Chains A and B, each alone.
Chain A
Amino acid sequence: MDLRDTPDEAQFRSELGAWLESNVPEALRGHRGGEARFSDDAVRDWSRALYEAGYIGLTWPKDYGGGGKPYSYQAIFLEETARAEAPQHLGVIGLGMAGPTIIARGTEAQKARYLQPLLSADEIWCQGFSEPDAGSDLSAVRTTARLEGSHFVVDGQKVWSSYAHIADWCILVTRSDPDSERHAGLTYLIVDMKAPGVEVRPLRQITGEAEFNEIFFSGVEVPLENVVGEVGGGWDVAMTTLLHERGTLGFALTAALEVMVGKLIELARDRGATPLQRDAVAREWIELQALRYTAYRSLSALMKTGIPGPEGSILKQQWSEAAQRVTKLALELLGPDAQLLAGNAPYGGYWQHLQLRSRGNTIEAGTSEILRNIIAERVLGLPRSR
């Protein structure tokens, strides 16, 4: 056990810190989320700059344009970019979900075709998993893929798809066997979002922004070579995607929460806090430390086994509730000012936006209820509840 960086890690951290210091565009600093990240060319330029400096795909195999580094480098990258309040790379879904799935389950041709443009943000990915009648129960998907000669024809509707309105590719879970039920008969496809028959409609959220979308597929042709894994084996491939979603997310979330708690402390210092509010601030800081060192433990396990464990669910679940408490506490410290928006609001409406946005944190990427099921069943070994 040694929580210090190795000499190589320390060198990487200090080089990265210096690089961020001189390269994060001032206009983008502190704007990690929100709608603007989609339309702003500067965000794509920033993503490309990160790639060209060698900071994207740090842990991916070198053969596919990655850095071939241990997971600790990715953790350092996430910590330092969060501390510098640098915006995220635009290809969040590609880097966290599509890419790792293609590396684990894709053909050589798919790896050669898709991975490099994903890293450089030349191609953006979205995820087509949830449907109006298949949310937490992914096995209920009804979007169909009908085999016609050398291609599938896809019909159906997906929902809650972030980045779909700017995406080039979609990882899509379809039902390819019309007589199948639940986990059987699903096929995992890579779909060209510019293909005829794909229509994207943005959905407005409680923050007023449109970060996610509905996607409609009408007779969309997808070549057979775009199947990931086996025809009919899509469930298994989808589980690979979700494992990576939660496994590598923990560090990014913790690093982002650290920035929020830092600002919460500033706010409490600026505005003053009652004894009860001081207690609450201390509690959130303590919780953050616990999350951070849980992420370290989880990372150490990942570095030994190479596969993210179900423990990632612990981090995501506890982080999401912490984000909700921290943002509400900030609003309480702001008092009536918290009801003002944007230009009229203190700190440019930072807390107002984050507080509303945090209500999505316990829903997206596995609801808290589903994550508790996962922990109960896969970590504690309790019987299935359904």
Chain B
Amino acid sequence: MDFSFAPEQEELRAQARAFLATNAEPSWEELAELGWTGVSVAEAGGGAGLGFLEEAILFEEMGRALTHAPYWSTVAVTLPALPADLQAEVARGEASWTLATGPLVPDLDTATRVAYVGGDSIWELEGAEREVLSTNDETRPLGVVSGGEAGRQLASSELLPQLRARSLTALSLEACGVGSRALELAVDYAKERHQFGKPIGTYQAISHPLATTLMELELGRSLALFAAWCIAEGDPRGAIAAASAKSLCADAAVAACERSIQVHGGIGFTWEHVLHRLYKRALWIQAWEASRAQLRSEVAAHLLDGDGG
């Protein structure tokens, strides 16, 4: 039993954190040069032949950095639906994708290709009009597509539950990244900011909510990593683990941002400060795919109505 990352995986995290800190809006070609778009693409297709655990590291780091790129929508949500030649294009940085599962479609401003669910298949959508809508989180705008026609048939829609589990897990990991950065900002501020002659972090009214935030994020991260491991290994517990993780991690990230804004006082409420952008990503994650109430009702059905438990 080993629930820790290997040294090479920790190296990938360090590399990602350093790069993303200074590249908030990397081009898709840059991400491909780093080898990140093809992490799980087979080596024959120009990828690294690694798996979802390595991608998990990148989801968390991109959440932390609020990276504006269609990485989640391509790699977490669409990639397994693509045939090998299209996966190779992604690995080479020639294409990025977003999957339309409902009326609102994420990342239409950056993704080069669009897939959609029609009947019992997932298809490429060709020749559609795109409209990017004004969205709370500017780094992951929602939009709508209209017109267009079915292009290449990509995969069976039986793949959708697997894609959903990947999506929920990736969002959980992003949430951990977002929440951790909000917490770090609050901790740094609580050490520097003096009131009544002391750093405000001295006061337990400040420090205890931050300790709670750390605990919630660490619990969430454990569950998100478990879901990621299940997905990487094809473990059947993955679907429920992913739903569980998203319900927990999105709440933890939203609470982390809210507490951080409060600890920062007026500064945390300004447009100039990064906190509102982290907060808006956390709210986006909380809203997307399924609410915590929906996710918990799925878990409850699994525990109480079936043979599970």
Partner of B244, one of A281, A289, A317: A289
How many angstroms between the C-alpha atoms of A75 and B2 in the bound complex?
12
Interface centre among B5, B210, B215 (most CB of A within 10 A): B215
Partner of A265, one of B215, B219, B303: B303
Scan B272-309; emit 1 where CB is below 8 A from any A CB, else 0: 00000000000000000000010011011001100001
Establish whether residues B223 and A279, one from each chain, have CB atoms under 8 Å apart when the complex forms. no
How many angstroms between the C-alpha atoms of A273 and B229 in the bound complex?
32
Binds B, one of A137-145, A221-229, A367-375: A367-375
Establish whether residues B210 and A293, one from each chain, have CB atoms under 8 Å apart when the complex forms. no
Establish whether residues A293 and B1, one from each chain, have CB atoms under 8 Å apart when the complex forms. no
Establish whether residues A294 and B222, one from each chain, have CB atoms under 8 Å apart when the complex forms. yes
Indicate if A285 sits at the interface (CB-CB under 8 A): yes
Count of A-B contacts with CB under 8 A? 154
Establish whether residues A265 and B208, one from each chain, have CB atoms under 8 Å apart when the complex forms. no
How far does the Cβ of A11 sit from chain B's closest Cβ, in whole Å? 13
Establish whether residues A279 and B222, one from each chain, have CB atoms under 8 Å apart when the complex forms. no
Establish whether residues B211 and A372, one from each chain, have CB atoms under 8 Å apart when the complex forms. yes
Establish whether residues A6 and B304, one from each chain, have CB atoms under 8 Å apart when the complex forms. no
Contacts of A286 in B (CB 8 A): 223, 244, 247-248, 296, 299
Q: For this complex, into which size category does the number of interface residues on chain B fall? A: 35 or more
Establish whether residues B3 and A311, one from each chain, have CB atoms under 8 Å apart when the complex forms. no
Establish whether residues A293 and B304, one from each chain, have CB atoms under 8 Å apart when the complex forms. no
Contact flag A382-B210 (CB < 8 Å), given A286-B244, A290-B248, A296-B1 = yes
Q: For this complex, into which size category does the number of interface residues on chain A fall? A: 35 or more
Contact flag A380-B214 (CB < 8 Å), given A278-B300, A282-B299, A286-B247 = yes
B186 to chain A: closest residue by CB: A380
How many angstroms between the C-alpha atoms of A128 and B53 in the bound complex?
46
Indicate if B36 sits at the interface (CB-CB under 8 A): no
How many angstroms between the C-alpha atoms of A275 and B211 in the bound complex?
32
How many angstroms between the C-alpha atoms of A281 and B296 in the bound complex?
9
Contacts of A317 in B (CB 8 A): 215
Establish whether residues B210 and A300, one from each chain, have CB atoms under 8 Å apart when the complex forms. no
Indicate if B201 sits at the interface (CB-CB under 8 A): yes
B 48-76 contacts with A by CB, 8 A:
53
Contacts of A265 in B (CB 8 A): 303-304, 309
Establish whether residues A382 and B219, one from each chain, have CB atoms under 8 Å apart when the complex forms. no
Establish whether residues B187 and A380, one from each chain, have CB atoms under 8 Å apart when the complex forms. yes
How many angstroms between the C-alpha atoms of A385 and B187 in the bound complex?
14
A 1-29 contacts with B by CB, 8 A:
1-6, 9
12 CB < 8 A contacts A-B: A5-B1, A72-B1, A283-B296, A287-B219, A290-B220, A297-B225, A372-B204, A373-B207, A376-B211, A379-B214, A380-B210, A382-B210
Residues of B at the A interface (CB closer than 8 Å) are 1-6, 9, 53, 183, 187, 190-191, 198-199, 201-204, 207-208, 210-212, 214-215, 218-220, 222-223, 225-226, 229, 241, 244, 247-248, 293, 296-297, 299-300, 303-304, 309
Known: A317-B215, A383-B201. 10 other contacts (CB 8 A): A1-B2, A1-B5, A282-B299, A283-B247, A286-B244, A318-B219, A372-B212, A375-B211, A377-B207, A380-B210
Residues of A at the B interface (CB closer than 8 Å) are 1-6, 9, 72, 75, 262, 265, 268-269, 273, 275, 278-279, 281-283, 285-287, 289-294, 296-297, 299-301, 303-304, 311, 314, 317-318, 369, 371-373, 375-377, 379-385
